[in-house]
Amino acid sequence: MPKLPEINHLDAIRAFEKAGFRIVRQGKHVIMSNDLAILTIPRSNPVNAFTMGQLVKDAGLTTESFRQLL
């Protein structure tokens, strides 16, 4: 899997919304779901590249498809 850059959490949320996820709950983390998977996005800027890679994998996306959503 090609490495993703560190991304602002708001940009990541917008990209996951384009992929069909919706915000379920917000606090120190943003919880998103698409009824099949649940993602927990930390509100840190930027989100660590390793964390972003795992979030993309958990969402069932490839890094290339995620980059297109950004």
| Element at 38 (helix H, strand E) | strand 38-42
Phi, psi of 21 (to 5 degrees): -85, 155
Q: What is the pLDDT of residue 3?
A: 73
Confidence class for position 1, pLDDT limits 50, 70, 90: very low
Q: Is the pTM of this model over 0.85?
A: yes
Integer CA distances (angstroms), 60 to 27, 28, 33, 64, in order? 24, 24, 12, 12
Q: What is the pLDDT of residue 42?
A: 94
pLDDT, tens only, 9-61:
999 999 999 999 999 999 999 999 998 999 999 998 899 889 999 999 999 99
CA pair distance 15, 41, nearest whole angstrom: 12
Q: Which domains does the chain have, with CATH numbers?
A: 9-69 (3.30.920.30)
